[in-house]
Amino acid sequence: MSVASRPTAGAAYELAPYKSLDNGALQARIAAVRASLGSRLLILGHHYQQDEVIAMSDLRGDSYQLSKMAAESGDCRAIAFCGVHFMAETADILANQPARLEARDGRRVTVVLPDMAAGCSMADMAAIDQVEGAWEELGEVIDTADVTPVTYINSAASLKAFCGRHGGIVCTSSNARAVLRWSFERTSRVLFFPDQHLGRNTAKAMGIPLEQMPVWDPHHDTLGGNTPEALKASKVLLWRGHCSVHQMFTPGHVDLFRAKVPGIKILVHPECPMEVVDKADVQGSTGKIIREVEAAPPGAKWAIGTELHLVNRLKHEHPEQEIHFLSPVVCMCATMYRIDLAHLCWSLENLAAGTPVNIIRVDDETARWSLVALERMLAVK
Ligand code: 13P
Ligand code: SF4
């Protein structure tokens, strides 16, 4: 089981007073901790974080880039992860892998998540007992030795460990295709969880027909709601999970922008439903979305389908382009948004005082097997 090992009791500072400080005061105090800890502290920020938090981050990236940064975290002693729970778990596993620990004479990197309520609703859609149950049930119909389990990085460490134990692998939105290719070099089938959309969009782009992608519903009593024949005919078994943020974009939004803004290009994240991705000009991870905009000439017109904070930041950073949010309704990741300057300042000052709060520490056995699946991913080109 993954655990946050230290409760806030015993902390030098309580959270409540930080909430009444204004941003200027919080920024100054965060800057003071950064100055005092220097290279011993690394603040990582996911692209969906609020601007104020991004401004305080040493490095920012998409899920894949952040994993690599944690794996290469050098001599830092602590990582404050401005993102969500599964990202902090991944950072803990990679920063404290045996080779790194040995190079640091056994000293662990303390990974903290400024607000423990920063989870991911998609990750919560696949629990380890559900995945283990599905695997067992599948084994009654097909040979699971011929199935590679692939977990999207947006999942609990226990699922990554499951993949490590069963010859499987982790993927992110930036390498899902390469990971599926890797999987099909080993087995003729894949079980992909928890995001059905990323799995479907990626497999479809590789030419796999939809009929060979049944969806496994973990809440269904028998075979995830499938017939034995459908499972036997499958190539990619998709898990019934999704991102509630990206699920809100629709093909109608794409049609509206195409009708309203001549020459507009539609740029979406692959967590969007297939019907949206099919109509888009470009799809990719948050990192790819940023690179596409950065490489575009002045006057380029975009409607972007991903989390609101990132789209708004791109708008401000690129006034020479016309950037729209793809949906007329607000699609923001409420859990990412929980990380604010008050929580960041509180967690950093406790770190500096030697009473870290909200530590994310994956237990050794889970970390060991998760690392197997993560290393397979990091080795895939
Ligand atoms: P990427 O940053 O890897 O594109 O992932 C987006 C996301 O939903 C993170 O939760
Ligand atoms: Fe999870 Fe979606 Fe938020 Fe990403 S955007 S952290 S997938 S809920």
Residue nearest to ligand 1 atom 3, measured at CA:
63
What is the reported pLDDT for 244?
Answer: 96
Model pLDDT for residues 81-131, shown as the tens digit of each residue: 999 999 999 999 999 999 999 999 999 999 999 999 999 999 999 999 999
Query: Residue 233 pLDDT > 70, yes or no?
Result: yes
Q: Ligand 1 in contact with 62 (CB < 6 A)? A: yes
The strand ranges marked E within the chain are: 2-3, 41-46, 59-61, 78-82, 110-112, 147-152, 169-171, 189-193, 215-216, 236-239, 265-268, 282-283, 301-305, 322-325, 361-362
pLDDT at 12: 95
Q: Distance between CA atoms of 286 and 292, rounded to whole angstroms?
A: 10
Question: For residue 5, is pLDDT > 60?
Answer: no
Residue type, 269: H
Share of the chain above pLDDT 70, in %: 98
Instruction: Please give the distance, rounded to the nearest whole angstrom, from the Cα atom of residue 236 to the centre of ligand 2.
Output: 22
Domain count, the chain: 3
Residue 356: inside a domain: yes
Q: Do 259 and 204 lie in a common domain?
A: no
| Token code pair at residue 207 | 């030419």
Considering the domain architecture, whether residues 184 and 210 belong to the same structural domain is answered as yes
Give me the mean pLDDT over the 334-345 stretch: 97
| Lookup: tokens for 40 | 């011993």
CA atoms within 13 A on the CB side of 151: 32
Tell me: the pLDDT tens digits for 300-315? Answer: 999 999 999 999 999 9
**Mean pLDDT, residues 179-193 taken together:** 98
Whether pLDDT at 3 is above 70: no
Q: What is the pLDDT of residue 72?
A: 87
Whether residues 87 and 161 share a domain: the answer is no
Q: Which residues pair with 147 in a beta bridge?
A: 189
Domain CATH code at residue 23: 3.40.50.10800
Q: Whose CA is nearest to atom 4 of ligand 1?
A: 285
Looking at the structure, do residues 54 and 108 belong to the same domain, yes or no? yes
Q: Is 84 in the pocket of ligand 2 (CB under 6 A)?
A: yes
- Report the half-sphere exposure of 239 (CA within 13 A, side-chain side): 31
Question: 43 is in which domain, residue-wise?
Answer: 16-119+337-361
167 and 70 in one domain? Answer: no
The answer, yes or no, to whether any atom of ligand 2 lies below 6 A from the CB of 153, is: no
* In a shared domain, residues 105 and 208: no
Mutate to test the pocket of ligand 1, among 155, 271, 289, 339 (most ligand atoms within 8 A of CB): 271
| 45 shares a domain with 22 | yes
Residue 366 lies in a domain: no
Averaged pLDDT, 142-148: 98
Residues 64, 168, single domain; the answer is no
Do 278 and 302 belong together in one domain?
Answer: yes
User: What pLDDT was estimated at residue 381?
Assistant: 85
The angle subtended at Cα 45 by Cα 347 and Cα 21, nearest 5°, is 40
CA 20 – ligand 1 centroid, Å? 31
C-alpha R_g of the chain: 21
In a domain, 371, yes or no: no
Any domain includes 210: yes
Average pLDDT over residues 39-68: 95
pLDDT > 70? residue 346: yes
Q: Whose CA is nearest to atom 5 of ligand 2?
A: 333
Note the Cα 148 to chain centre separation in Å. 20
Residue 80 banded pLDDT, cuts 50, 70, 90: very high
pLDDT of 71 strictly over 90: no
Of all ligands present, the nearest one to the C-alpha of 173 is 1
Q: Is the CB of 71 under 6 A from ligand 2?
A: no
Same domain, 352 and 277: no
Residue that is written with structure tokens 């290469």 in the block: 72
Q: Are residues 127 and 236 in the same domain?
A: yes
Q: What mean pLDDT value characterizes the chain?
A: 96
Residue 208 has pLDDT above 80, yes or no: yes
Whether residue 155 is predicted with pLDDT greater than 90 in this model: the reply is yes
Asked if pLDDT for residue 271 goes beyond 90, the answer is yes
Omega within 30 of 0 (cis) for the link into 218: no
Cβ count within 10 A of residue 321: 17
Give me the pLDDT at residue 304, please: 98
